Amino acid sequence: MISKRRPVIVGLGEILWDVFPDGAKFGGAPANFAAHAAALGGDVCMVSGVGHDELGEAALRTLAEKQLSTEFIQQPAGFPTGAVRVSVDAAGYPCYEFGYDEAWDHLHWSDGLAELAHQADAVCFGTLGQRGEKSSQTIQQFVAATRSDCLRVFDINLRPPFVSLPVIDESLQLATVLKLNDDELPVLTEQYRLVGSPMTQLQSLSQIFDLQAVVLTRGAAGSILLRGDEISEQPGLQIRINDTVGAGDAFTAAVTLGLFRGLPLDTINQHATRVAAFVCSQAGATPQLPGELLSPEEALQ
């Protein structure tokens, strides 16, 4: 059954400013996801931390501008807003240099978060947001507190040197949906001794962790979505790349909305591919999406 209800969606983890050579742009994978999920029709809350500083105030303004609730943005005393230096190579692919011990590393649990977890229809979380022990505990407690029908989307988002195999395993145990890219699949292949083709490896992960869906993005080579016995393979679109920052997060947002709505997997995959391709063609992680991309039906006409 296709649902037309606006889902309650939570982006859970880091808020960062991506500092490019030409200036700072709002970012962080779960924040990018949240912004795109709101544009695509979700009622979205961001759970993160920012500092009592100029970047923190700018982040709060940006969240409000993108129609994201700031009710659950924490401001722990003494810690700065996250920032990451981004350099982009000739092909448009980014390299990141992260700061340390920032506001999003210090998320604490609260009764308000417990209530939000119960309300959530979908939550997206990753590994970078769990690099700090306190935030990792809070993020996992939040995901565990969601309803049994909530889409628990684990966007693995590996960012060396912040790669923890125990965090990956704990997160997979909690997840119902796994999203990863073709650079991250070999990490799981080694960790869980997976064999066979990439498709077989994805099917093995789905079985090992009893996942509702698995999503693999492969850049210009396209994407693979699995949901039970249903498989969708979509080639990449030929576009002129500006930069790829945020494209994977936009893809995840489109997939999450599609899964919630119960759309056919090919429809979800094609729409997510078009949304991600548009983001690649623009500067920054969260450009305003054109109207024809806001629904799968319009995007695929």
Q: What is the pLDDT along the chain (301 residues), one digit of tens a residue?
A: 566 789 999 999 999 998 877 788 888 999 999 999 999 999 999 999 999 999 999 999 999 999 999 999 999 999 999 998 878 787 777 787 888 899 999 999 999 999 999 999 999 999 999 999 999 999 999 999 999 999 999 999 998 899 999 999 999 999 999 999 999 999 999 999 999 999 999 999 999 999 999 999 998 899 999 999 999 999 988 888 887 878 999 999 999 999 999 999 999 999 999 999 999 889 877 888 988 898 776 555 4
Instruction: Check residue 2 and give its pLDDT.
Output: 63
CA 66 to CA 43: how far, in whole Å?
11
Sign of CA dihedral 278, 279, 280, 282: positive
Which two tokens mark 161? 């040197």
Cα distances (angstroms) measured from residue 32 to each of 44, 62, 211? 12, 11, 24
CB count within 10 Å of CB 30 equals 31
The structure's pTM equals 0.92
**Helix/strand/coil for 64:** helix
The gap between the terminal CA atoms of the chain, to the nearest Å, is: 22
Query: What does residue 161 show for φ and ψ, rounded to 5 degrees?
Result: -90, 15
Domain ranges of the chain: 8-299
- H-run or E-run covering 44: strand 43-49
Domain 8-299, CATH class in plain words = alpha beta
CA 203 to CA 216: how far, in whole Å?
11
**Helix/strand/coil for 124:** strand
